[in-house]
Amino acid sequence: MIRSSIRIASALALVALSLPFFQASAQQDVPVAPASAPSSPAPAAAPTFPKPDPANFTAASPSKEVVNAFVQTSWGFDDSRVWEVWAIKNTPAEGVSKVTILVGDKSGKQKSAVVEFYVLPDGKHIMVQGEILPFGEHPYAEYRALAQKRADGPYRGSAMKDMEIIEFADFQCPHCKDAQANMDKLAVDFPKARIVFQTFPLESIHPQAARSAAYGVCVAKLGGSDAFFTFASAVFDGQEGLATEDGATLTLNSAVTKAGLDPAKIAECATTPATVAAVEAMVKLAADLNVNQTPTLLVNGRQVSATAPYDTIKQIILYQAKLDGVAVQ
């Protein structure tokens, strides 16, 4: 399973929805198909799901077509995955529908599982594993538009926002430091994408995160994106120094110097009301995009863990680019 800085693989559960996650979290077995197979073990093959019972489709919405479109958008990056929409039922809560999906893989090597979520009355959100997530035929469109409008962090790659990969990161987060190897690879592999560093300080667990974010805002303001990424790399390299206030001062000033700027000017800038407001706006943007952990990527509005295996991240980006009709390489 993929781990983020706060909890297990919630980002891929956010409807990137990896099969290993479901195997770990699902508590039900797939309903047994009508008996016709021999009792002796058979070679592994794609699962044969039992035919859905029309009696299990009691809700007026969403339609089976919408659910399938949603699942295709969410899971289609993995062409080994197969599924069957098993039920869309009314619930005692008015306007809330319960969706059940059977999921497996074509090889038959992975045990099939049952995935369930609740579609909320607005038809645009679901509840799964305690999360409220986007839903619909184009579930990421609203988050994509919001990110294009408000994500203003320093960036690498294209000035255009056709494919925007936004990294939400905290300078004091160890997993964010680990994720930088993936981010550097993405910058090489996707030169036509806009790769944004959106600082998201988690002050409740990282006391120097907001201060580090403020320094980053000022470095980007006075030195531009190139200076910022030099600064960011140096801060992550010296991350252990952020454990104390004095250590943070030394670490941040050293990183500013490596970025070719004056530490005294950056320190002064970091305490101004405008910079404090900029950091607060970054935190607010993360909340509005339903980003609640670091490191998280937003790929044209779609959440992916930045510490996921690189090949998985790359696969999802290529698939999302295909869905959105944009070139990234």
pLDDT in tens, 219-243: 999 999 999 999 999 999 999 999 9
Mean pLDDT of 145-169: 97
**Tokens at 252, concatenated:** 């941040």
Asked whether the beta carbons of 128 and 111 are under 8 A apart, the reply is no
> What's the confidence (pLDDT) of residue 107?
84
- pLDDT tens by residue, 11-48: 333 333 433 333 333 323 334 344 344 444 555 677 88
Domain ranges of the chain: 10-138, 142-324
Would strands 296-299 and 302-305 be described as parallel, antiparallel, or unpaired? Answer: antiparallel
> What's the confidence (pLDDT) of residue 31?
44
Q: At residue 110, does pLDDT exceed 90?
A: no
> What's the confidence (pLDDT) of residue 41?
52
CA-to-CA distance for 64 and 69, rounded, in angstroms?
9
Asked whether the beta carbons of 71 and 85 are under 8 A apart, the reply is yes
Phi, psi (degrees; rounded to nearest 5) at 133: -130, 160
**Tokens at 112, concatenated:** 């099939």
* 329 — pLDDT class (breaks 50, 70, 90): confident
3-state secondary structure of 267: helix
Alpha carbon 54 to its chain centroid, in Å, reads: 35
Q: Where are the alpha helices (DSSP H) in the chain?
A: 10-11, 19-25, 64-75, 141-150, 174-189, 209-237, 245-258, 263-270, 273-288, 310-324
Mean pLDDT of 74-85: 93
Q: Output DSSP code: residue 41.
A: -
Q: Which percentage of the chain shows pLDDT scores above 90?
A: 79
Cβ partners under 8 Å of residue 227, min gap 6: 219, 220, 259, 260, 261
Asked whether the beta carbons of 147 and 166 are under 8 A apart, the reply is yes
- pLDDT tens by residue, 293-321: 999 999 999 999 999 999 999 999 999 99
- pLDDT tens by residue, 246-299: 999 999 999 999 999 999 999 999 999 999 999 999 999 999 999 999 999 999
CATH number of the structural domain 142-324: 3.40.30.10
Least confident of 129-133, 173-177, 297-301: 129-133
Instruction: Find the length of the chain.
Output: 329
Q: Which one, of 278, 293, 255, 23, lies nearest residue 179 by Cα?
A: 293
